[in-house]
Structure 1
Amino acid sequence: MKFNQLQRRVARAEELVEGRRAQVREHAGLFVDSWRSGWTPWRIVIAGLAAGFLTGRAEPVRAIGGLNPTRWLQLASTASGLFSSLQAAVAASRADTAADKADDAAESADDAAASTQHAAHATRQAASAAKTQAPDPQPTTGYAAVTDAEETERWAVRAPRPAEAATDVSER
């Protein structure tokens, strides 16, 4: 055989392999799709029951765990106790977290109440000091008699009312 003929045979074989590889990919994709669509829930249940039956038939003593029903009862009571203790632990953890949050909320409420009381006390002191220091304004007959300086002084001396002081403190 000549070298050119060998090259043509190799090229044809490579093309054939590539074609077969593409066919295998296509058929594998179709197989996977049909396999997945074929496994309906009822078929899965039936296959599980059949596998369980065959396993139990092959090794009955090991599959059942002996014929002693007290072992099954002990297993069930142990599992139940374990489950109950896990639930109790989770509930205790949640209760601790809720108690911590409630303590934090109570402390912040106490702090806010104390700051409001301090602000109200300071406001009362400022108001009583303003009453003792501020002279009574003289009644005037007309608007022109009050000067701008007197008006500014009268408003500057006025202390905030308790509600204004409490709102000011709570907004900080």
Structure 2
Amino acid sequence: MDFESKANAPTPTDNIKFAQPTTTRKPLELLRYTEALLRRPTVAVLSPILPPKLSNRFQATSVLADDSFKELAEIDLDTINDFELQPARICVGLTFVGFGALMILVLLLYLNTLRPELSTGEQIRQYWYQYVWFVSLGVTGMFMLGREAMRPIPKRRK
């Protein structure tokens, strides 16, 4: 009897070499092609169904999307530095804070106008989930703004 292990024997799957892509595409270029692959058939199907005025606007919007994504695909993400992204991060932080505050205000308005029969404790008990979400959005925005405020200012080159 042969009690030797056959686990060390080479198998055909050990020698598989996967094909490497010949060209690498940028992420924004992939997004452009993926979005177009989904949008164009949708526009082609919906355009005959829609009223003529709306159909024309729909097709014009599709062409505008093509142009916008073409411009986006030309952006080289490797050339964008951290300092250039600061205004975008500040805007996102302010958006989170503002949206959280606005939604808390809308929730309070809803509770005070359409649900006045509930006491404050009952309102919190029934709508705690929404309160937590909206407060968390605001706190997240505040953390983003605080992080930007504590970032060191880059020295300018002369």
Scaled by the length of structure 2, what TM-score is found?
0.27
Scaled by the length of structure 1, what TM-score is found?
0.26
Determine which structure has the larger helix proportion and give its number. 1
Structure having the higher Rg: 1
